[in-house]
């Protein structure tokens, strides 16, 4: 089984990917975690590292090349990243999931996760980060990240908590296996 989970920052992709990974006993590969680790290793914030990635395409291209290789060669995985569904293009029988949530909900979640003090500051960083990513994905691959037509399932994580969302996804996944 191969599953991709994608969504914008704060939508819940990492949480849901972990829950799916545990439930189905699948290896989880999170490009977002890799990107955050690379930023930390350089002593940079995500927005600073994103700005660096805009100037140095090799950062994104290496991460994406790795994702593409993994999804084309490994079974029994969950690949979680903004572009995971796109990286799986051409691979048969991959279930592609997009998790969405409104901007303000996502920012509140990021604020809790990052333990930021200012909502407005986190909102500004999130908007800046998303603009950076949209620009990079369009420039590198011609991908419009707002076009959700490649996904098999699009689910709004604001409507249900992570366990309810997991239950919905489990019904969909179980119907395929």
Give tens-digit pLDDT for 125-151: 899 889 988 988 998 899 999 999 999
d(CA 87, CA 147): 15
Quick one: average pLDDT of 105-111?
94
Q: Range of 125's domain? A: 2-169
In a domain, 25, yes or no: yes
pLDDT in tens, 79-91: 999 999 999 988 9
In a domain, 67, yes or no: yes
d(CA 5, CA 115): 24
Distance in Å from the first CA to the final CA of the chain: 8
Contact 109, 23 (CB under 8 A): no
In a domain, 19, yes or no: yes
- Number of domains into which the chain is organized: 1
Give 6's pLDDT tier (boundaries 50, 70, 90): very high
In a domain, 176, yes or no: no
The CATH number that applies at residue 18 is 3.40.50.300
In a domain, 69, yes or no: yes
């Amino acid at each position: 089984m191969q599953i991709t989970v994608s969504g914008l920052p704060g939508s819940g992709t990492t949480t849901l990917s972990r829950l799916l990974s545990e439930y189905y006993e699948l290896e989880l590969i999170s490009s977002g975690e890799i990107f955050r680790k690379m930023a930390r290793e350089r002593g940079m914030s995500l927005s600073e590292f994103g700005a660096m990635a805009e100037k140095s395409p090799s950062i994104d291209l290496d991460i994406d090349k790795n994702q593409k290789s993994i999804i084309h060669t490994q079974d029994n995985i969950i690949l979680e990243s903004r572009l995971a569904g796109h990286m799986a293009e051409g691979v048969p029988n991959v279930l592609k999931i997009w998790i969405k949530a409104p901007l303000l909900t996502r920012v509140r979640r990021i604020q809790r996760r990052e333990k930021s003090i200012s909502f407005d500051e986190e909102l500004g960083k999130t908007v800046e980060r998303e603009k950076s990513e949209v620009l990079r994905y369009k420039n590198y691959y011609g991908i419009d990240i707002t076009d959700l037509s490649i996904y098999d399932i699009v689910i709004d994580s604001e409507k249900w908590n992570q366990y309810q969302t997991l239950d919905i996804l489990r019904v969909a996944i179980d119907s395929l296996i």
